[in-house]
Amino acid sequence: MMTTLQEAARFIQEQTNQYQPDFGIVLGTGLGALVQDLQVAFSLNYADIPHFPVSTVESHSGKLIFGELGGRKVVVMQGRFHFYEGYSMEQVVFPIRVMKLLGIQKLFVSNAAGGLDPAFNTSDLMVITDHINLLPSNPLIGKNLDELGPRFPDMSEPYSEHLVQQALEISQLHGLNVKTGVYVSVPGPMLETKAEYNYLRTIGADAVGMSTVPEVIAAVHLGLPVFAVSVITDLCVPGKIKKVVLMDILESAAKAEPNMTLLIKELIKRQE
């Protein structure tokens, strides 16, 4: 594992003239337009990077982009990997570990999610304060890589409370209607039944999706502070549930994207 991570990182460094990003950003379903605000220095296709998985979801373009956002050097994953695509957990979090080797200090994550809280509307932003893992595994199962992190990482604060507070201050300053809540990750790729939505709400979730938690677990293991935000793309509460198609999800994500981009950009500006 360490050999493959180092080979990927070395290749990326060679292709980017040793570009050293301060922060990593993962863009979720339909949320790739943040790169339009990026002063791009380098762009690599996942398929060209040794040992990197390749995105199989049509709304994930599959590029690793280096540049400046808010005056800070970042590396952006335009498209992520999901357990439902058939990848192992190690493959899903492989890019997070590579970004750590490239020098990132913090990780910023976005996703598209279904809203379980009755107060949510489509295109709302939900800053994630905690999560529930209902995936059948996690990226730390198996032999621990001591070079990456401890055998038993503490998960009492998977999402940086400091970053959450900064995000809420930014939201208030710019008049953004941002919610907070708990994200639950499920295997997918099918959406949930009405009974499953009810179950997820009962156990304490405010939004449901099929990603993010593996990457966050890996980041915490690596010692990286994490900020994550969900774009609510469909509603999963009684009386508001309707059949969902990908186009609806992409439209809701596109509507919320300017606010999400502003939030992440301003948050990155505040980092030391």
What is d(CA 166, CA 170) in angstroms, rounded to the nearest whole number? 6
Distance of CA 238 to the CA centre of its chain: 27
Question: What is the domain extent for residue 251?
Answer: 2-269
Q: What is the pLDDT of residues 170-216, one digit of tens each?
A: 999 999 989 999 999 999 999 999 999 999 999 999 999 999 999 99
Category of 172 on φ-ψ map: left (φ > 0), alpha (ψ -120 to 50) or beta? alpha
Q: What is the pLDDT of residues 64-122, one digit of tens each?
A: 999 999 899 999 999 889 999 999 999 999 999 999 999 999 999 999 999 999 999 99
For the chain, how many structural domains are there in total?
1
pTM over cut 0.85: yes
* CATH code (residue 215): 3.40.50.1580
Whose CA is closest to 37, among 63, 69, 78? 69
